[in-house]
Amino acid sequence: ALAPTAAFGAAVVFVLVVGATRYVSVGSMSAALALAPLVYATASSPPVVAVAMVVAMLVLLRHAPNMRQLRVGREQRLGDRKA
């Protein structure tokens, strides 16, 4: 891994957010948003920070349908049965 400390921090964010909300998508988006600042804070090189920012944007784009489902209250929570 290019930034193992930052990746671990993002994983912690994911676990905490999923534990608090039971939304895996919110955990994923939160971890993605936390990654670039964590990479920067751990003194990684500028190209690694740039890659982390691109990864965050891709994760957010990939979760656009989940964001719509969250807005209308139809996103499934972890442990919910499929409708």
Q: Reduce the DSSP state of residue 80 to 3 states and report it.
A: coil
Tell me what pLDDT residue 83 has: 61
Gyration radius from the chain CA atoms: 14
Is residue 1 within a helix (H) or strand (E), and if so which, with residue range?
A: none
Tell me what pLDDT residue 2 has: 79
* Alpha helices (H) along the chain: 4-21, 24-41, 46-62, 64-72
Tell me what pLDDT residue 44 has: 76
pTM, full prediction: 0.89
Instruction: Single out the residue of 51, 57, 1, 61 nearest to residue 32, CA to CA.
Output: 57
Tell me what pLDDT residue 47 has: 92
| Model confidence pLDDT, tens digit, residues 21-36 | 999 999 999 999 999 9
Residues of the chain with pLDDT under 50: none
